[in-house]
Amino acid sequence: MQIAIYVLIGIVVLVVGIFLITGLMGAPYVPTLKEPLADALTKLYKISKKDLLIDLGAGDGVVLQAASDKGAKAVGVELNPLLAFMMKWRFRKNKKVTVKCRNFYHYKFPKETTVVYVFMIGLRIDGIYRKIEKEATRLGKPIYFISNAFDVSFAKPEKHISQFYLYKVGPKK
Ligand SMILES: C[S@@+](CC[C@H](N)C(=O)[O-])C[C@H]1O[C@@H](n2cnc3c(N)ncnc32)[C@H](O)[C@@H]1O
C-alpha cells in the first residue's frame, strides 16, 4: 500500500515537473479555443486538402484535428513529451497527422509545407517569424503564418481577424 502511494506521488511529481520545465523552456500549454480556430481556418486562411499545416508547439493537437478535418495534412511539433505522446496516441489512426517530439527551432519543414500555425507568448513571435522565413528561403517558396494573439513587431499582416494575424513569409532574396 505504502509503495503504491510513493509510486503515485512519483508519477504526479514527474508529470508536474515535465509541464513546469517545458513551460519554462518554451511557453505554457494553453489550447486554442475551437470556435475562433474554426474562423481562423476558414475566414482568415481557407485551409483545404491542398495544404500541409505545421503547428509549432502543438499542445494537445486541437489545431491538427481542425486542419485534418478540412482535408489538410498536419504536422505537430511539441517539446513536452507527455503532450507529444498523448497526440501520437490520439492520431494513431489518422494518416493525415504526424507528431514530432522536439524543439521546433531545430525542426526542418517538409517541402509541401504551405501554412504554419503558432500560439506562443508575444516575446517569441519575432524569432518564430525569422525561423519560418529561414525555412521559406530554404524551400524557395512563401509560407503562410497564422499567429494566435500576438503580432510580429516588424512585419505587416496580410489579414487580421479577431485575435489572429496572417502573414505571407519569405523567401528572403
Ligand atoms: C500556448 S500552447 C499552444 C498549443 C496549440 N498550438 C494550440 O494552439 O492549442 C504552446 C505549446 O508550445 C509548446 N512549446 C513551447 N516551446 C516549444 C518549442 N521550442 N518547441 C516545441 N514546442 C514548444 C508548449 O509545450 C505548449 O504545449
In tens, the pLDDT along 116-151 reads: 999 987 678 999 999 999 999 999 999 999 999 999
**Confidence class for position 172, pLDDT limits 50, 70, 90:** confident
For residue 105, which atom of ligand 1 is closest to its CA?
Answer: 19
Choice from 18, 55, 63, 119 to test ligand 1 binding pocket (greatest atom count within 8 A of CB): 119
C-alpha cell at 159: 489579414
Strand boundaries in 58-119, DSSP class E:
73-78, 97-101, 115-118
Is 29 close to ligand 1, i.e. is its CB under 6 Å away? Answer: yes
Q: How far is the CA of 47 from the centre of ligand 1 (A)?
A: 21
List of residues 6+ apart from 72 with CB closer than 8 A: 47, 48, 49, 50, 51, 52, 53, 96
Residue 65 has pLDDT above 70, yes or no: yes
| CATH number, domain 30-169 | 3.40.50.150
Choice from 37, 60, 80, 117 to test ligand 1 binding pocket (greatest atom count within 8 A of CB): 80
Residue 39 has pLDDT above 70, yes or no: yes
What is the rounded average pLDDT of the residues 76-96? 96
Of the chain, the percentage scoring pLDDT greater than 90 comes to 77
pTM value? 0.93
C-alpha cell at 65: 484535428
Q: How far is the CA of 118 from the centre of ligand 1 (A)?
A: 8
Is 63 close to ligand 1, i.e. is its CB under 6 Å away? Answer: yes
**Confidence class for position 10, pLDDT limits 50, 70, 90:** confident
- CA 43-112-103 angle, 5° bins: 90
The pLDDT of residue 26 is 64
Parse the chain into domains and list their residue ranges: 30-169
The pLDDT of residue 1 is 79
For residue 117, which atom of ligand 1 is closest to its CA?
Answer: 6
Question: To the nearest whole number, what is the mean pLDDT of the chain?
Answer: 93
